Amino acid sequence: MQEDYQYMRQAIELASQAAGRTSPNPLVGAVMVKNGQVVGQGYHARAGTPHAEINALAVAGSQARGATLYVTLEPCSHYGRTGPCAKAVIEAGITRAVVAMTDPNPKVKGRGIELMRTAGIEVVEGVMAAEAAKLNEVFIKWIATGMPFGLMKTAMTLDGKIATRTGHSKWITGETSRNSVHTLRDTCDAILVGIGTVLADNPELTTRLPNGGKNPQRIIVDSLARTPLTAKVVNDGLAPTIIAVTSDAPAENIAALRAKGVQVLVVSRGSTGVDLRELFSLLGKREITSVLIEGGAAINAAALAANIVDKVYAFVAPKIIGGKTAPGPVGGIGAETMAETINLEEITISLSGEDVLITAYLEAREVRHVYRTCGRIG
């Protein structure tokens, strides 16, 4: 049993190498072991390319016959962009399969395991299931609900300010934290801000890491289509830009943005502007599985109210701004009593250079029951 954990941990580490690259597919790693030796290993690198099991089989070759397969997610049983992995595993002569978690995709969901067992393969389930589910929390949320996994990033001072009373905010956090944010962007499908951020900062919303990284799609919440035609997100061509407006937006503004190559989505109006839940549903249909929310106080408040935030990254700098009018990370009306506050769980606290990073999940979100079935929560 100890060996099972050792090799499954290796498979999870392999899978994580493709973070941010496999969407809308999950992250999957596979290791094949025979007579105590690893004879093949691989991971799913990108949607449309061979899955982890196929890559590991290619390395193992004839040594796969009689081997044990360790895989972080149940092998698929259907034809999609590639063929069914469960069938390939059976044909290769694998005699034992250790599977971390069942695939929550309704097209699979136990069928791959059933196919292997019917073929006479010994299947062991649930080894490091919690770790495997956390690795694929983005995929689990999207496949179970059709909605992207929402990550909210904030950067604030020790007294909870995101800017001075004059609006000055560069830079609250240090270089290490800013690099961490670019790593987050690199692993997410999209980044979302409000029109206020675009008008105030004219940001690029791109990933700037030493090795370049992957630019996420850019989503601007702009109910009246006020995004300037000169804005970087409209003109630089560095990543696709989606602007979410409402029917209140002037038709000529929408037409001008579309003429610049911007995708404009007309979304229903919510209580504070664009209906963010409807927007997330539309993004999910476009196979956008994760959205990093990097807006100001207004967009953060709207996102929390719309129940689209699953995880929070809060960078806290050892600085004090002070002042009653200096803004905090979440605006809106706010809670009247402590009973109405939004609670966080699974809290992790770590150093980020001179700053502190608090990572946490929002309590009782709609996808939590799916995590339970996948093994993330006992």
Q: What is the pLDDT of residues 80-136, one digit of tens each?
A: 666 689 999 999 999 999 999 999 998 888 899 999 999 999 999 999 999 999 999
Least confident of 270-274, 298-302, 333-337: 270-274
Catalytic residue numbers read: 53
What would the two tokens of residue 179 be? 């690099």
What would the two tokens of residue 159 be? 């007294």
Q: Looking at the predicted structure, is the pLDDT value of residue 378 above 60?
A: no
The larger pLDDT score, comparing residue 108 to residue 43, is at 43
CA 340 to chain centre: 27
Mean per-residue pLDDT over the chain, rounded: 93
What distance in Å separates the CA atoms of residue 227 and residue 253, rounded to the nearest whole number? 9
Q: Looking at the predicted structure, is the pLDDT value of residue 364 above 90?
A: no
**Across 285-291, average pLDDT:** 98
User: In sequence order, what are the beta bridge partners of 348?
Assistant: 359
Contact at 8 Å (CB) between 27 and 44? yes
Residue 92 DSSP SS3: coil
Q: Is the pTM here over 0.85, yes or no? A: yes
**Across 274-281, average pLDDT:** 97
Phi, psi of 110 (to 5 degrees): 100, -15
What distance in Å separates the CA atoms of residue 118 and residue 116, rounded to the nearest whole number? 5
pLDDT of 377: 42
**Across 53-72, average pLDDT:** 96
What distance in Å separates the CA atoms of residue 174 and residue 187, rounded to the nearest whole number? 21
**Across 16-23, average pLDDT:** 96
What distance in Å separates the CA atoms of residue 343 and residue 331, rounded to the nearest whole number? 17
**Across 342-357, average pLDDT:** 96
**Across 280-302, average pLDDT:** 96
pLDDT of 221: 97
The model's pLDDT over 158-189, given as tens digits with 9 standing for 90+, comes to 999 999 999 888 899 999 999 999 999 999 99
